[in-house]
Structure 1
Amino acid sequence: MTHTHRLDLDDATLREWDATVVGVDPERGIVLDRSAFYPGGGGQPPDHGVLLWGGVRTRILGTAKGDDLYLVPHEEDPVPPAGTAVRGALDDRRRTELMRTHSGLHVLTGVVFRDFGALVTGGNMEPLTARMDFDLAEVPPDFKDRVAEAVNAEIRTDRRITVSTLPRDEAFAIPDIIRTATNLLPPGIEVVRIVDIDGLDTQADGGTHVASTAMIGRMEVVKMESKGRGFRRLRVRIV
């Protein structure tokens, strides 16, 4: 059981909060009782930010895997000992750009699934740039342009994006709730987090998102690549 309450799952707009250090592992990092740092996963990289305590600033560069949410401090910065009250703050620009990018990728996967019936085989993102791979044997010559046009039409529609949770059995009763060719959800998970783009896309997902598609901006489909038989990679940019 984790000690850390995941504030990022409660409110993706939260950027500052108060917390207490409940543990420090010299190899893995700092554990807080409450944290809004997204730890990374599902292609979305972890947040960056700082912990402020006693007139000191400790930069947080990411997270480490383990039995809890370990925050990785900059190697040159002091580490607050267990019991210290701290003020956490995220790098707002990085988090917001990642939210826009992640939501944009959900619009992309929703459009490609709706219009071409293709599932996702892989993907990765950084702030405002990403790649997404699809299982798609045949594509029309104007595939890239058609996808870009359809994605931006959905973004302009300003569809609401909501997050909810459902028991596993109820979640898997939703048609096409898994949009990846391989189900990546851990077998033992009992509650599934659902991200819904109203009228376009519903997926199981654990990342952070903006509140509506209009907040994404505009997506440019920069390049399409063939990555072997039936696999197509789209490289995109959010502007």
Structure 2
Amino acid sequence: MHYYYNKKVVNMTEHIYQLDSYLKEYDSIIVSIKDNSIILDKTIFHPRAGGLESDTGFLEVNGRRYKVLNVLQEKDSEDVLHQLDTVDGLNPGDRVHLALDWERRYKMMKLHTASHIIAAIIYNDYNALITGGNITPEYAYDDYSLESSDRSIFDKVVQKANEVVKKNIELKIYWLDREEAMKIPGIVKLAARMPPNVKKLRIVEIPGVDIQADGGPHVKNTGEIGEIVITKIENKGKNRKRMYYTLK
């Protein structure tokens, strides 16, 4: 949840999942091939970025199926590398059919939106920022700039977060000019990290709860999340307290 993209960049991979996180399949064209990876003109695969592990799945070309093992974003670029089990038989210009491992994606979408709710509450109640984190399909953790590792603090935060979840709030996703977006209090909740110098920022808003610049996939409604459950609290040092959590 902690990175930012332009809505569209010419001649680079278009991130279709930013427009619709619920697309499970899509057609695209191979732009180039690098070692065991391909770059597509458009993709529904979310790369490893912003604390989220990458999507996986497969693609089909001329009746042959290829496994998508990992997805990465090239440094200083909008291009997305799709690492395959093999690139044998593939060529630039080939039209491919993409298919996500939807169960994996949907689990991470729910945890991702849950992480935004938690971050908003801990920011508003304790003025704490996120200093690190990771989201997998099964669980997530975030590090917060808190002095205390008192379990009761986290219990209260998650209790509030679950109350938000039950309100079935519809999320809003839209783009704002950078200058306008940066005027919004709390638009960036990551310590010591600001969005890159792009003209437009993708905004994810949970009305009445949170608003953040963010590039990743989310659920449409907080009610899809389920119940947030703390699994472990760790003291990682001064002003760095880690909470592990999952959903049920």
TM-score (norm. length: structure 2): 0.89
- Distance in 2 (CA, whole Å) between partners of 1:183 and 1:72 is 28
Give the gaps of 5 or more residues in structure 1: none
Cα 1:128–1:2 change in 2 (3 A) is farther
Is 1:45 aligned with 2:23?
Answer: no
Q: Secondary structure at the match of 1:142?
A: helix
- Distance in 2 (CA, whole Å) between partners of 1:166 and 1:152 is 29
1:110 Cα deviation (Å)? 1.1
Q: How many residues align?
A: 236
Give the gaps of 5 or more residues in structure 2: 1-9
Q: Which of 26, 29, 47 is 1:20 aligned to?
A: 29
Query: One-letter code of the match for 1:74?
Result: D
Q: Secondary structure at the match of 2:92?
A: coil
- Distance in 2 (CA, whole Å) between partners of 1:34 and 1:65 is 13
Give the structure 2 partner of residue 205 of structure 1: 214
- Distance in 2 (CA, whole Å) between partners of 1:191 and 1:14 is 23
Is 1:171 aligned with 2:156?
Answer: no
Q: Secondary structure at the match of 2:48?
A: coil
Q: Comparing both chains, which one has the higher relative contact order based on Cα–Cα distances under 8 Å and sequence gaps of 6 or more?
A: 2
State the Cα deviation string for residues 64-115 of structure 1 (Å, max 9, x = none). 443421211014x635211212111111101111101100101111111122
State the Cα deviation string for residues 153-195 of structure 1 (Å, max 9, x = none). 1111112211111111001011111111112422x22211111
Q: Secondary structure at the match of 2:175?
A: strand
Give the structure 2 partner of residue 87 of structure 1: 97
Is 1:71 aligned with 2:82?
Answer: yes
1:56 Cα deviation (Å)? 0.3
Cα 1:79–1:4 change in 2 (3 A) is farther
- Distance in 2 (CA, whole Å) between partners of 1:24 and 1:142 is 51
TM-score (norm. length: structure 1): 0.93
- Distance in 2 (CA, whole Å) between partners of 1:144 and 1:33 is 43
- Distance in 1 (CA, whole Å) between partners of 2:67 and 2:228 is 31
Q: Which of 183, 196, 212 is 2:205 aligned to?
A: 196
- Distance in 2 (CA, whole Å) between partners of 1:95 and 1:149 is 25
Same amino acid, percent of matched pairs:
31
Q: CA RMSD in A?
A: 1.6
1:141 Cα deviation (Å)? 5.5
Contact 1:46 1:63 in 2 (8 A): yes
Contact 1:107 1:201 in 2 (8 A): yes
